[in-house]
């Protein structure tokens, strides 16, 4: 059974490892994910996906027919860009394959494919590098849009440069990203020093860079009113999320503050 699986891995790899970016001749340009969808001889819908990071690759064949997606084959190894005359090629070597990332064996067969890229469509010619059991063929693949990793947004602190309150005040801060809202509020805690730094350490999960973060800050000199619509002062603002940064806001002539944040 193991020999059959490894044989299938080798066949599948040659049919899809050519799904590489031809925009340049270095490995940095090969980074990304490419997918091809097809039906097998039994009419089952399959999706082949390969992802390149540095000089490493991972490859999956997924069965998409049925209620759940199932990994049929998995492989990983190394990749490098090469030239053969005027042709662009990609060579895959040190390949290991199996049914999952935890069930791998060496596939003793390097693979070299020819490719041509036009826009987000890649035309691949495989099984031309040497005589094989499978006949030469040409396949087209589509580049998948890169996904941005979700992280946790941390509102580190507020620097209150100026306050519209003439004396000590209470503060309530609501921060919203998407459908998630988190609140910073310390009951019966007063603020009021000029240039005071208020440590918030407020965390909002599942945030991606470039999302919009909405901020509502309320101030009042009466305890208990600061988180209600009876507050004295209200500031509604927003900023674009970055890996780390700060932004200053001036909602009133005598009110100026800066919010500091980072993603982790």
**Predicted pLDDT at 101:** 87
Contact at 8 Å (CB) between 169 and 65? no
**CA–CA dist 137, 118 (Å, integer):** 19
∠ CA 251-238-245 to the nearest 5 degrees?
Answer: 105
What's the token pair of residue 251? Answer: 């909602």
Q: What radius of gyration, in Å, describes the C-alpha atoms of the chain?
A: 28
Question: Residue 4: what pLDDT?
Answer: 40
> Which one, of 231, 173, 223, lies nearest residue 202 by Cα?
173
Torsion of CA 13, 37, 71, 148, to 10 degrees: 100
Q: Assign residue 60 a region: left if phi > 0, alpha if psi is -120 to 50, beta otherwise?
A: beta
pTM over 0.85: no
Cβ atoms within 10 Å of 44's Cβ, excluding its own = 14
Yes or no: say if 50 and 33 are a contact pair by the CB < 8 Å rule. Answer: yes
Give the CB-side neighbour count of residue 17, counting CA atoms within 13 A: 32
Tens of pLDDT along the chain (264 residues)?
444 444 444 444 444 444 333 334 556 767 788 888 877 767 778 888 888 888 998 888 888 877 778 888 999 999 988 888 888 788 899 999 998 888 899 998 898 888 777 877 877 788 888 888 888 988 788 888 877 789 999 999 999 999 999 999 999 999 999 999 999 999 999 999 889 999 999 999 999 999 999 999 999 999 999 999 999 999 999 999 999 999 999 999 999 999 999 999
What are the chain's domains? 2-143 (no CATH), 151-263 (2.60.40.150)
Condensed to tens digits (0 to 9), the pLDDT of residues 29-82 reads 677 888 888 777 677 788 888 888 889 988 888 888 777 788 889 999 999 888
223-to-9, 172, 190, 200, 230 alpha-carbon distances in Å: 67, 11, 9, 19, 11
**SS3 of 60-120:** EEEECCCCCCEEEEEEEEEEEEEEECCEEEEEEEEEEEEEECCEEEECCCCEEEEEEEECC
Question: Would you state the pLDDT for residue 176?
Answer: 97
């Amino acid at each position: 059974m193991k020999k059959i699986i490894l044989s299938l891995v080798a066949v599948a790899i040659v049919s899809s490892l050519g799904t590489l970016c031809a925009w340049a001749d270095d490995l940095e340009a090969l980074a990304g994910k490419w997918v091809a969808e097809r039906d097998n001889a039994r009419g089952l819908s399959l999706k082949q996906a390969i992802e390149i990071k540095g000089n490493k690759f991972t490859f999956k064949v997924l069965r998409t027919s049925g209620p759940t997606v199932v990994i049929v084959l998995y492989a990983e190894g190394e990749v490098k860009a090469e030239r053969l005359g005027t042709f662009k090629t990609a060579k895959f070597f040190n390949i290991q394959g199996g049914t999952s990332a935890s069930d791998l064996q060496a596939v003793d067969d390097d693979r070299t494919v020819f490719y041509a890229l036009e826009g987000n469509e890649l035309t691949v010619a495989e099984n031309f590098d040497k005589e094989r059991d499978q006949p030469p063929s040409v396949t087209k693949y589509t580049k998948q849009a890169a996904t941005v990793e979700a992280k946790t947004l941390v509102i580190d602190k507020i620097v209150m440069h100026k306050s519209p309150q003439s004396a000590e005040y209470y503060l309530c801060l609501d921060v919203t990203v998407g459908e998630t809202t988190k609140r910073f509020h310390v009951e019966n805690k007063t603020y009021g020093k000029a240039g005071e730094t208020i440590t918030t350490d407020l965390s909002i999960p599942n945030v991606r860079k470039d999302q919009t973060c909405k901020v509502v800050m309320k101030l009042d000199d009466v305890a208990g009113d600061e988180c209600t619509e009876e507050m004295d002062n209200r500031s509604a603002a927003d900023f674009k999320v970055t890996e780390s940064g700060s932004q200053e806001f001036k909602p009133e002539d005598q009110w100026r503050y800066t919010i500091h944040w980072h993603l982790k």
